[in-house]
Amino acid sequence: MSQRRIAVAVATVLSLAACSGGGGSNGGDGSPQAVPAVRGEGKTITVWVMDGDYTDATLQAINKKFTEATGASVDLQVQQWEGITTKISTALSTTSTPDILDLGNTQVPGFAANGGLLDLTPYRNDLKQGRTWLAGLEDPATVDGALYAAPGFAGARAVIYHKKTWAAAGVTAAPKTYAELTDALDKIKSGNPAADFAPFYLPGQYWFAGLQFLWDAGGEIATNEGGAWKGGFSTPAGQKGLTEFTTFQNTYSTPASRTLDTITPDQTQLFADGKTSAILATSGSIGLIQKANPAIRSEDIGTFPFPGTSGKTQPVMLGGSDWGIAAKSDAHDLALQWVKIAASPAVQDEFVFGADGWIPNSTEGIQAAQAKGLTEQQQGFFAGALSSKATPAAAQWPTIEGDKSINQVFSAVASGAKTPEAAGKEFDAHLASTLAAGQ
């Protein structure tokens, strides 16, 4: 999954004027409804899609199905990443807003909380079309129980490992349990004693990885209790997660990595240079590794979902795309039909997975992809996505990512600068005050 979407998600969401839906469906009393089947000859809806998210084949397939069903046309406008958060914020506050927007899954709460997005709750079941959406896409699109966007696609993290290095240490199969993982890494560590070699490179600031340990221990980032956000890092489960992250990081990554992020140095370059035998990363990292070192062939690289101490696969935080409808759009009914088509099993299976190679938006979509046959490298990412969670659906969550406090809480315990107890209490207090600002 491209890091650009993550970078966009951390931008501060600008305040939007509260707005009410116009020109069609407005959710009524909130009771379940079918997406209206209306005609739209002579009308055109505007769809903003982010550069690189979907192939032309997928977008044209959606548009064709939409025009056949409604008679309406689509003005598809590809948006660039630079300054997109400000551009979306401004657009949603005007009457000339695009009707449909391709949004990062963690962006949705901020735009929804400020009234920029249409409440899709009455149409949730019809939009799902019998499928079970991935929690990592649906949860951040759900604010105070109301749905404000429909999942489009996902990208997940999994362990990427060098099969030759592992085989040289006597490990010829991907581990399925935490004990098997640590046993394999112990063997690799024994056979590669260089001080700058990491059996598993996992820098301390890597909060995506840290959250997997937190969730695997049964912890939560924060929960909304009676309208107030309460951090979960100081809870018993949160403390367990922080401790287990620290133990793994200190045992299998390099001492120098305890205060670092994944960019400096670039963990894919370390893998390419033979300085580590495994990293936790998105599927796009495989191409970066091979570009940095063409001698590493596809068959040399394996993947698997990170097994947790819980006995299950660690939950992953999905990156991905959701489709939102502007509250000020004057074509809600037509926009709902377009979004329903984009989220449909046919489009998800044949195009989002089949043409684009993304992880589809539902467990059933992943299972269909698995049945069709995945490459060995795809399998780890798709399996990992079946167990997913999300950051809190809070308007001010981007502030937490932007100030990098989420990075530092994990780095502090990994480096020993703070105890898990001290770091957890401090971060929970910061979470509560920051997220409360968006109430």
Q: Which residues of 283-297 are buried (b: 16+ CB within 10 A; e: fewer)?
A: bebbebbbeeeeebe
Q: Are residues 244 and 363 in the same domain?
A: no
Those residues whose C-beta lies under 8 Å from the C-beta of residue 208, and which sit 6 or more positions away, are 157, 280, 317
Q: What is the CATH number of the domain that holds 82?
A: 3.40.190.10
Compute and round to an integer the Cα radius of gyration of the chain: 22
Span 356-376, pLDDT tens digits: 999 999 999 999 999 999 998
11 φψ region: left (φ > 0), alpha (ψ -120 to 50), beta (else): beta
Mean per-residue pLDDT of the chain:
92
Torsion, CA 370, CA 375, CA 381, CA 382, rounded to 10: -10
What number of CA atoms fall less than 13 Å from residue 144's CA on the CB side?
A: 11
Residue found under tokens 């260089």: 194
Structure tokens given for 358: 């993304």
Residue 39 belongs to a domain: yes
What pLDDT was estimated at residue 20?
31
Helix H or strand E segment including 138: helix 135-138
Residue 217 belongs to a domain: yes
Please compute the mean of the pLDDT values over residues 13-26 and round it to a whole number.
36
What pLDDT was estimated at residue 324?
98
Residue 419 vs residue 319, higher pLDDT: 419
Q: Are residues 37 and 168 in the same domain?
A: no
What pLDDT was estimated at residue 413?
98
Q: Are residues 197 and 258 in the same domain?
A: yes
Q: Determine if the pTM surpasses 0.85.
A: yes
Residue 186 belongs to a domain: yes
Please compute the mean of the pLDDT values over residues 178-196 and round it to a whole number.
97
What pLDDT was estimated at residue 106?
87
Q: Are residues 203 and 307 in the same domain?
A: yes
Span 95-151, pLDDT tens digits: 899 999 999 998 899 899 889 999 999 999 999 999 999 999 999 999 999 999 999
CA–CA separation, 215 and 237 (whole Å): 8
Closest by CA position to 66, among listed 98, 111, 35:
35
Residue 394 belongs to a domain: no
Assess contact for 298 and 122: CB atoms under 8 A: no
Q: Are residues 267 and 287 in the same domain?
A: yes
Q: Are residues 425 and 298 in the same domain?
A: yes
Q: Are residues 165 and 107 in the same domain?
A: no
Express as a percent the part of the chain with pLDDT over 90. 87
CA–CA separation, 314 and 164 (whole Å): 25
Express as a percent the part of the chain with pLDDT over 70. 93
CA–CA separation, 286 and 405 (whole Å): 29
Which SS3 state, helix, strand or coil, does residue 160 take?
strand
Assess contact for 121 and 146: CB atoms under 8 A: yes
Query: How do 319-325 and 100-104 pair as beta strands?
Result: antiparallel
Q: Are residues 331 and 374 in the same domain?
A: yes
Q: Are residues 104 and 187 in the same domain?
A: no
Those residues whose C-beta lies under 8 Å from the C-beta of residue 301, and which sit 6 or more positions away, are 160, 161, 162, 163, 286, 289, 290, 377
Please compute the mean of the pLDDT values over residues 331-345 and round it to a whole number.
98
Span 262-298, pLDDT tens digits: 999 999 999 999 999 999 999 999 999 999 999 999 9
Query: In 10 A of CB 166, how many CB atoms?
Result: 23
Q: Are residues 385 and 428 in the same domain?
A: no
Q: Are residues 39 and 148 in the same domain?
A: yes
Expressed as residue numbers, the domain containing 170 is 157-316+403-436
What pLDDT was estimated at residue 2?
39
Residue 110 vs residue 300, higher pLDDT: 300
Q: Is the pLDDT of residue 4 over 70?
A: no
Q: Are residues 203 and 100 in the same domain?
A: no
